[in-house]
């Protein structure tokens, strides 16, 4: 049978089965309530004489034209064949009649209104008002077809299949010819029919023939189809079958053994185009004998090639794969030998030996997720490949329709994802997945998205996923959203695969033990009424695991007292088969308690007034995890706090701070609140853990009450023992010590002002922190015992009604011995410019380091720290002293100052007689040459004289001669001044007369 005819037959059978199931369901559905919208008519059929008669055994079904309206509406004919069907509401309907008894169905076939063969062909009945619509039904009377099958010589051929199929679709009736070549087809639907005689699918002896309505058959379908009359028997449907011409293509290995499951291709020469055509569609693989049969025509030219590249579900499970070869053992089709069919019928075998390539991989057809749309990402799911270690490579491309659909790879498109670009618009995309593994023959599988690349494509409101547990015996469901653009779905479908092998076409898949260890994939195909948007989506799950065994899991119990701070224990019972790993989760009022995962649980305040349960979860390899929860306890009772009696620390003195010492409350943490009392009366606002005593508290006793509270516990209050009466606070400054820290000197305690007066003060002196016996006076005479020690004094003040206070001074520096020192003297002339010398006197015990500081009128002179000092003008009129300081380790430093000198006398300047240089001529300039004055620096002033008369304004060191000076002599007087020195004036000798 040609491929197209085979597909059509399968479609007819499928539709017949679907409609039969639909109507069977409809017949079981209760009648609708009367609405007034009705279809009425009479059901008739032909009797044996060809006369119309009513059919009382008929069911009538009114079907809404809109498939979305799934109401089942039916009625039945009465004894006169009349029927009335209430359709319930206005609308468009088709009407279908069939028999409800065997006696009826043996004579008549089912029929749609107006002699149609199917729902899609039936004439529409419009019901718009309550006026009945008349639609009479004529059920066809079955026809009977008889004939004989012979060869062209008239010899009967037994075992030939004869089929009758309505040309518009419907039930297919078939039978086989007997030993005499005769056959009978019963219950054949009258009308246009296709009646065919052919041998079995695996037989290649006879050509198929088709009845043309006469006694002579034809080798092709007659057009139009012959019309079979209803009722009478046709006895002239005879068939003469011709012998089939063709060849067997056979693939064998190098040992000559046949190879099953090898793909084959037959190239047929097209004399019109001059090309070799490949009209067959796959998968076409060799049978168990390693061969296939190809029908030929006289004079036809053919090439036969084999390629062991098919890995589909029909492929046998072979250990090895073979290389490609063409007849007669050529490497490819270009070099293949041409087989030409003779004009006489001939069948022969064309054998081709295939070389072994390697072991066989397990390969899967790849699925592509996404729409064939510019800018829309695609993703390939390669399926299940094996064995472990197989390396997969990917190549995206497109099929060139103009070049015999050759695959054109897209440069760089070698990832598992690919996004179509604008240059691919209108092309059919594809993906080739190639698997390689050392020792194995490479395998290549192809797939691709639906349709050509365009602007369409469906986007789902939620992605495709597989829900359900991938466990044998469980049901997986393909879950997804609807088209995001709101478009109505025109068609959708599902396809399941397990490790690349087809497993079903429903929305759900029930997992079986054979699927354990394998990966499940589902592909959802959808097309909307928008058109040109065919899209496939892919999701995976697994691998599938075997169902687990069931644990023995008793309900746990709880022991222990349901009270805060008590510990509860989970008693899990006996789980099995042992060993079973148990985990615990305690719950408070049904809510899991964080961290409470041991077999015991200590109740906390948060549990008070709540019921407690424990869930025990058992796990064991190969078993289903089980969880069991205990019965709840009674509400947890409040806990009891540990509450010690508080104490009070701190001085009971006005101005001091008392501190409540609460002790250790438990279980921690406990929130503590405080209240202070003055002689039993609560002090307003005194609620801190400390309290500062005021004058109001003087003579009063103090207590503190501590109240502990904690969630889930009863609050407790505890009060301290009362303090003694609070005393007043003395004003007590820190004492200081005056006096030299030198052996033999007396130190004096300076207590400061204590109050309120009078305050009785007591003293105690300490030598390096150790009390000195008997040293209780305000003064203390240092002795050699104190040498190298520091001294402090503690002053204690007491007064009735007040707290005694003791204050200790800061420690002195270490006490030292006393140096012997003389009084320094000064020798030298007390005049500016002269040097004075300090004579320190005798210091001891030697050696003593001496330091000097000269002073001007009692003020230290910066830098004057040598034993001599040269007087400067700054000292004129001032007295000079020198202080000598002696230092020695272990001794107190001593400073002694000399008596002051007489006032320093002004110094005498060194003053030479100046001279005049320069030409003594009018217009020339004279220059005063003062000579060297000292001690430098000395400030010099000039005055020029003309013949002894001072020249007004001539006070520079130079003088320009004018005509007034002609004939006169010139002199210059230089006056030197310096602080602390007597000014001196010197006049030059007169020049000669000016010319």
* CATH number of the domain to which 211 belongs: 2.60.40.1120
Same domain, 252 and 353: yes
pLDDT at 525 over 90: yes
Query: Which pLDDT tens digit goes with each residue over 955-977?
Result: 999 999 999 999 999 999 999 99
On whether both 744 and 686 belong to a single domain, the answer is: no
The verdict on 133 and 9 lying in the same domain is yes
Residues 30 and 134 in one domain: yes
Same-domain pairing of 28 and 126: yes
Measuring CA to CA, which residue among 98, 166, 152, 87 is closest to residue 124?
Answer: 87
Question: Both 722 and 741 in a single domain?
Answer: no
Q: What is the mean pLDDT of residues 537-553?
A: 93
Examine residue 814 and state whether it is found in any structural domain, yes or no.
no
Q: How many CA atoms lie within 13 A of 422 on its CB side?
A: 0
- Mean pLDDT in the chain? 90
Which residues lie closer than 8 Å to 223 by C-beta, 6 or more apart? none
Give the CA count within 13 Å in the CB-facing half-sphere of 640. 3
Task: Say whether pLDDT at 35 is over 60.
Answer: yes
Q: In terms of residue numbers, what domain contains 163?
A: 143-241
Per-residue model confidence (pLDDT) at position 11: 35
* CATH number of the domain that residue 923 is part of: 2.60.40.2700
Please say which residue of 225, 241, 257 terminates a domain. Answer: 241
**Start-end of H helices in 119-278:** none
pLDDT of residue 437: 97
Read off the pLDDT of each residue in 920-949 and give the average, rounded to a whole number: 95
Q: 252 with 289: CB under 8 angstroms?
A: no
Asked if the structure places residue 235 within a domain, the reply is yes
Provide the domain count of the chain.
Answer: 10
Q: Is residue 107 part of a domain?
A: yes
Kindly state whether residue 902 falls inside one of the protein's structural domains.
no
Same domain, 957 and 921: yes
Where does a domain end: 603, 629, 655? Answer: 629
Are residue 724 and residue 734 in the same domain, yes or no? no
Assigned domain for 594 exists:
yes
CB 570 within 8 A of CB 593: no
Q: Which residues pair with 181 in a beta bridge?
A: none
- pLDDT, tens only, 286-299: 999 999 999 888 88
Assess whether 301 and 352 both reside in one domain. Answer: yes
Residues 129, 164 share a domain: no
User: Could you read off the pLDDT of 710-743 as tens digits, one per residue?
Assistant: 989 999 999 999 999 999 989 999 999 999 999 9
pLDDT digits (tens, 9 = 90+) for 595-650: 999 999 999 989 999 999 999 999 999 898 999 999 999 999 999 999 999 999 99
Q: Quick one: average pLDDT of 164-189?
A: 88
Domain annotation covers residue 813: no
What is d(CA 157, CA 176) in angstroms, rounded to the nearest whole number?
10
- Tell me, yes or no, whether 667 and 717 share the same domain: yes
Report yes or no on 903 lying in a domain. Answer: no
Beta strand residue intervals within 470-608, DSSP E: 475-479, 489-498, 501-504, 508-510, 520-528, 535-541, 549-550, 557-559, 567-571, 581-588, 591-592, 600-602
Rounded-to-integer distance, Cα 494 and Cα 505, Å? 5
DSSP state at residue 15:
H
Q: Are residues 509 and 447 in the same domain?
A: no
Contacts of 106 (CB under 8 A, 6+ apart): 142, 187
pLDDT given for residue 29 in this prediction: 37
Indicate whether 994 belongs to any domain.
Answer: no
From 495, 512, 547, give the residue that closes a domain: 547
């Amino acid at each position: 049978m040609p491929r197209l005819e085979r597909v059509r037959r399968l479609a007819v059978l499928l539709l017949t089965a679907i409609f039969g199931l639909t109507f069977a369901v409809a017949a079981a559905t209760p009648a609708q309530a009367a609405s007034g919208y009705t279809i009425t008519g009479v059901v008739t059929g032909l009797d044996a004489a060809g006369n119309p008669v009513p059919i009382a055994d008929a069911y009538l079904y009114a079907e809404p034209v809109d498939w979305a309206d799934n109401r089942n509406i039916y009625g039945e004919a009465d004894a006169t064949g009349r029927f009335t069907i209430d359709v319930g509401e206005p609308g468009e309907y088709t009407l279908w009649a069939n028999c409800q008894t065997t006696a009826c169905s043996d004579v008549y076939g089912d029929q749609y209104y107006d002699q149609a063969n199917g729902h899609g062909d039936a004439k529409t009945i419009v019901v718009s008002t309550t006026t009945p619509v008349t639609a009479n039904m004529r059920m066809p009377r079955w026809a009977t077809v008889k004939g004989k099958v012979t060869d062209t010589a008239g010899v009967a051929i037994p075992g030939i299949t004869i089929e009758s199929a309505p040309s518009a679709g419907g039930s297919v009736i078939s039978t086989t010819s007997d030993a005499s070549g005769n056959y009978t087809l019963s219950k054949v639907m009258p009308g246009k029919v296709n009646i065919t005689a052919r041998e079995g699918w695996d037989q290649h002896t006879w050509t198929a023939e088709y009845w043309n309505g006469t006694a002579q058959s034809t080798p092709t379908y007659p057009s139009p189809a012959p019309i079979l009359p209803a009722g009478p028997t046709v006895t002239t449907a005879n068939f003469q079958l011709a012998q089939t011409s063709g060849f067997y293509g056979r693939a064998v290995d190098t040992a000559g053994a046949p190879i099953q499951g090898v793909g084959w291709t037959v190239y047929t020469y097209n004399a019109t185009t001059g090309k070799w055509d490949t009209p067959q569609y796959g998968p076409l693989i060799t049978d168990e004998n390693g061969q296939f049969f190809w029908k030929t025509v006289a004079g036809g030219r053919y090439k036969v090639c084999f390629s062991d590249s098919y890995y589909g579900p029909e492929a046998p499970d072979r250990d090895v794969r073979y290389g490609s070869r063409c007849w007669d053992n050529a490497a490819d089709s270009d070099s293949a030998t041409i087989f030409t069919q003779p004009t006489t019928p001939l069948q022969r075998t064309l054998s081709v030996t295939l070389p072994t390539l390697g072991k066989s991989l397990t390969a899967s057809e790849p699925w592509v997720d996404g729409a064939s749309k510019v800018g829309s990402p695609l993703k390939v799911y390669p399926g299940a490949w094996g064995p472990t270690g197989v390396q997969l490579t990917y190549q995206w491309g497109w099929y060139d329709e103009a070049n015999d659909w050759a695959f054109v790879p897209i440069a760089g498109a070698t990832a598992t994802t690919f996004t179509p670009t604008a240059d691919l618009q209108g092309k059919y995309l594809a993906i080739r997945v190639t698997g390689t593994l050392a020792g194995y023959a490479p395998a290549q599988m192809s797939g691709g998205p639906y349709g050509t690349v365009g602007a369409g494509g469906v986007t789902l409101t939620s992605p495709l996923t597989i829900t359900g547990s991938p466990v044998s015996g469980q049901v997986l469901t393909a879950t997804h959203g609807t088209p995001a653009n709101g478009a109505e779905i025109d068609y959708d479908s599902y396809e399941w695969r397990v490790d690349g092998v087809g497993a079903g076409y429903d929305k759900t898949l029930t997992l079986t033990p054979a699927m354990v260890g394998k990966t499940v994939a589902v592909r959802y195909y959808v097309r909307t009424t928008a058109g040109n948007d065919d899209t496939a989506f892919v999701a995976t799950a697994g691998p599938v695991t075997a169902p687990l065994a069931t644990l023995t899991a008793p309900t746990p119990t709880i022991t222990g007292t349901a009270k805060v701070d008590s510990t509860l224990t989970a008693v899990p019972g006996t789980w099995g088969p042992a060993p079973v790993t148990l985990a615990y989760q305690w719950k408070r009022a049904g809510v899991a308690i964080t961290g409470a995962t041991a077999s015991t649980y200590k109740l906390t305040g948060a549990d008070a007034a709540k019921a407690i349960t424990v869930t025990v979860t058992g796990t064991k390899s190969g078993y289903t995890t089980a969880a069991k929860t205990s019965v709840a306890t009674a509400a947890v009772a409040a806990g009891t706090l540990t509450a010690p009696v508080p104490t009070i620390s701190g001085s009971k003195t006005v101005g001091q701070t008392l501190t409540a010492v609460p002790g250790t409350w438990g279980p921690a943490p406990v929130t503590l609140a405080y209240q202070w009392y003055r002689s039993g009366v609560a002090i307003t606002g005194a609620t801190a853990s400390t309290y500062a005593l005021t004058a109001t508290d003087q003579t009063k006793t103090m207590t503190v009450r501590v109240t502990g509270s904690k969630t889930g516990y009863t609050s407790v209050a505890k009060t301290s023992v009362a303090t003694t009466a609070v005393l007043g606070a003395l004003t007590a400054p820190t004492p200081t010590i005056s006096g030299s820290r030198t052996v033999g000197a007396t130190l004096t305690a300076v207590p400061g002002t204590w109050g309120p007066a009078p305050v009785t003060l007591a003293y105690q002196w300490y030598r390096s922190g150790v009390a000195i016996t008997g040293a209780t006076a305000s003064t203390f005479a240092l002795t050699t015992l104190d040498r190298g020690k520091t001294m402090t004094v503690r002053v204690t003040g007491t007064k009735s009604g007040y707290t005694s206070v003791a204050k200790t001074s800061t420690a002195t520096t270490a006490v030292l011995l006393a140096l012997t020192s003389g009084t320094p003297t000064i020798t030298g002339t007390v005049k500016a410019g002269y040097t004075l010398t300090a004579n320190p006197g005798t210091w001891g015990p030697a050696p003593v380091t001496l330091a000097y500081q000269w002073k001007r009128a009692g003020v230290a002179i910066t830098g004057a720290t040598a034993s001599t000092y040269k007087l400067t003008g700054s000292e004129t009129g001032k007295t000079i002293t020198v202080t000598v300081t002696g230092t020695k380790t272990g001794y107190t430093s001593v400073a002694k100052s000399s008596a002051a000198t007489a006032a320093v006398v002004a110094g005498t300047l060194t003053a030479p007689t100046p001279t005049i240089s320069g030409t003594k001529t009018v217009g020339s300039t004279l220059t005063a040459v003062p000579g060297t004055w000292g001690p430098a620096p000395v400030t010099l002033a000039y005055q020029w004289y003309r013949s002894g008369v001072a020249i007004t304004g001539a006070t520079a060191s130079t003088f320009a001669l004018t005509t007034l000076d002609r004939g006169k002599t010139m002199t210059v007087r230089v006056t030197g001044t310096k602080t602390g020195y007597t000014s001196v004036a010197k006049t030059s000798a007169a020049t000669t007369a000016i010319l």
